[in-house]
Amino acid sequence: MNMPPTAHRLCIGLLLCVLALLGGCATNPMTGRSQLILVSEQSTISTATSAYASMMSTLDQKGAMSSDAALIARVQSITDRLVTQAVRYRPDTEHWAWSVKVIEDPKTLNAFCMPGGKMAIYTGLIHQLDVTDDELAQVMGHEISHAIANHGAEKMSNQLLANIVVAGIAAAARTSQDRQKRQDVGTAAALVFINLPNSRTAEEEADRLGIELAARAGYDPRAAITLWEKMMRQSGGNSRVDFLSTHPAPPKRIEALEELQAPMLKLYAQSQRELDASRKWTSTAANETEVPDAETENPVEPVASRLSDNQSPAGQPLAFYSKDFEQFKSGDAELSCSVPCALSFFLKQGTLREQYAKGAWRALAMETLKTDYRLDLAYFYLGMAAAALGFKDAGKKYLNLAIAASASKESSCADGILVRCGELDIRTAAQTALAQM
């Protein structure tokens, strides 16, 4: 764009103002984190989908799509398994037009999944790193996580300048009426999606969600570490690959992935058992000799015990692993903040009350924990949530803490200045709940 710098700044400022009025903060459906979302997910998907189509048709014309049938099938089968899992966490994405392409480009170490589920991987990543299936699943799991956690909309919201650039290129192409240029517009728009860095928080989320999708899909979580090691060796940390594109520095991200190994290995083992059971079923069905008896011969964990592994009841979407939630379940969560946290609880009390009323127990527990406010009402919420979710011992512990807290002026909502109990008499309500357990 041939615009003087001041006009540029003015233009960006104006756009920011307009968009700030139109949009706002949204809670990430996958992680519970607040995101600045100024662009709707649907509009991000539309932009990404047409950018992807244009980019792929240009690459196709240049003969840059892989014709390696075995490789394409391999990538397809891995992404299919990951998408099946992603849909269990976010059922509405079942209607996304998920698809994957393999781009023949031995020099590029990259892969992406755009908002709406359009994926691609460059052969450079596959061949240069000589990735195993488990490692490939980590790459694509990470990319799919960006998409289901709506990082695209967040990225666009945080990087409005990029919108102006794309709009500028599009305007230039409209005037020229040049077909080639129109194609380039699509490719440029797609590149904006692919190359704009995600925030550090988004990268950490994608790492965490990706390793879980892969583990559920039957891919070894240890591959997340070996993949990182390979990437760092290969690129020396200077790569366009999404994994390495942002802070925090790799050692910190590897550390986080290492911390997740224990719970993810549990999920991986569970998915292996389920795969074995389904293989047994398939082979038995093919032989038509006997009905498989999964209960005795090849036991799949019963639903009740699987529920304790951050699963949700049947028919409910899965929830991602959370260390805080695990602590809550075991009854070890503590609310440690006094007066300074009253305001954050006060601001959330409407939401908490609503979650309590409609029985959104997991969300209630997570939100209450986030406030960290040592209050009888907060412990009461934790106790009721734990009891309703089937963590009886934890529920008893929190309800007793609620009763204890209600006896002290500092931690009782009956005496609260900001936060009030409403119609609840915490002591009586907690005792009643305990008596029913």
Using CB under 5 A, list all residues that contact Zn ion: 203, 206, 242
Question: CB of 137: closest distance to Zn ion in angstroms?
Answer: 15
When CB distances to Zn ion are compared, the closest residue is 242
Question: CB of 384: closest distance to Zn ion in angstroms?
Answer: 37
Per-residue CA distances from 128 to 108, 230, 232 (Å): 9, 9, 12
Taking the C-alpha atoms of residue 262 and residue 333, their distance in angstroms, rounded to an integer, is: 20
204 vs 220 by CB, closer to Zn ion: 204
Strands of the sheet containing 99-103, edge to edge, are: 99-103, 118-122, 111-113
Taking the C-alpha atoms of residue 120 and residue 266, their distance in angstroms, rounded to an integer, is: 29
Nearest Cα to Cα of residue 373 among 347, 340, 397, 398: 340
110 vs 349 by CB, closer to Zn ion: 110
Question: CB of 113: closest distance to Zn ion in angstroms?
Answer: 10
- End-to-end alpha-carbon separation of the chain, Å? 68
| DSSP state for residue 40 in the 8-state scheme | -
List of residues 6+ apart from 174 with CB closer than 8 A? none
Nearest Cα to Cα of residue 72 among 105, 39, 100: 100
Q: Which residues pair with 99 in a beta bridge?
A: 118
| DSSP state for residue 172 in the 8-state scheme | H
Taking the C-alpha atoms of residue 279 and residue 294, their distance in angstroms, rounded to an integer, is: 11
Contact of 145 with 87, CB cutoff 8 Å: no
Question: CB of 206: closest distance to Zn ion in angstroms?
Answer: 4
Contact of 213 with 113, CB cutoff 8 Å: no
In 97-136, DSSP assigns E strands to: 99-103, 111-113, 118-122
Question: CB of 65: closest distance to Zn ion in angstroms?
Answer: 23
List of residues 6+ apart from 206 with CB closer than 8 A? 142, 143, 145, 146, 149, 151, 198
**How many helices (H) and strands (E) would you count in the chain?**
19, 5
Question: CB of 242: closest distance to Zn ion in angstroms?
Answer: 4
243 vs 268 by CB, closer to Zn ion: 243
Three-state DSSP at 121 gives strand
Question: CB of 151: closest distance to Zn ion in angstroms?
Answer: 8
Contact of 383 with 433, CB cutoff 8 Å: yes
244 vs 264 by CB, closer to Zn ion: 244
Question: CB of 290: closest distance to Zn ion in angstroms?
Answer: 47
Question: CB of 219: closest distance to Zn ion in angstroms?
Answer: 17
Reading the block at residue 7, the tokens are: 């006009």
Taking the C-alpha atoms of residue 188 and residue 167, their distance in angstroms, rounded to an integer, is: 11
Q: Which residues pair with 100 in a beta bridge?
A: 119
Question: CB of 167: closest distance to Zn ion in angstroms?
Answer: 25
Question: CB of 322: closest distance to Zn ion in angstroms?
Answer: 20
Please confirm whether the linkage preceding 4 is cis (ω < 30° from 0): no
Q: Are strands 24-27 and 111-113 parallel, antiparallel or unpaired?
A: unpaired
